[in-house]
Amino acid sequence: MTTEALLVATAVMALVTYLPRVLPLAIFRRKIQNPFLRSFLLYMPYGILAAMIFPAVFFSTNSWISASFGVLISLVLAWFRRGLLTVAIGGTFAVLIAEWILTLI
């Protein structure tokens, strides 16, 4: 890989990442009035995030067993409205513990 090729590839990547982020923000300056479209856009984060988490989360660690344990603990903490950081750390520790137990078996 030459330096020049890497720089060009990086620029291409940056461009196709920035374009979809910037176009709607630059173009849609006014509030959308259509109730369906408005509701769609307000619901959208939850639909997208849910689809991003499942089932990918079960493959985010060394084994689906430890990942499932992490998901369980995260769900419980989130149910009781713990903050983002608490849930993230809790989930991570749950995986660590599960993987440690798995090595003992």
Q: How far is the CB of 29 from another protein (least distance, A)?
A: 7
Q: How far is the CB of 103 from another protein (least distance, A)?
A: 9
Q: Tell me which residue has tokens 């660590």.
A: 96
**Contact with another protein (CB under 8 A) among 4, 84, 104, 105:** 84
Q: Does 57 bind another protein (CB under 8 A)?
A: yes
Residues 60 and 67: beta-carbon distance below 8 Å: yes
- Please give the DSSP secondary-structure letter assigned to residue 61: S
Q: Does 21 bind another protein (CB under 8 A)?
A: yes
**Contact with another protein (CB under 8 A) among 4, 11, 104, 105:** 11
Those residues whose C-beta lies under 8 Å from the C-beta of residue 82, and which sit 6 or more positions away, are 90
Q: Using the Cα atoms of residue 27, residue 30, residue 33 and residue 38 in order, give the sign of their dihedral.
A: positive
Q: Does 36 bind another protein (CB under 8 A)?
A: yes
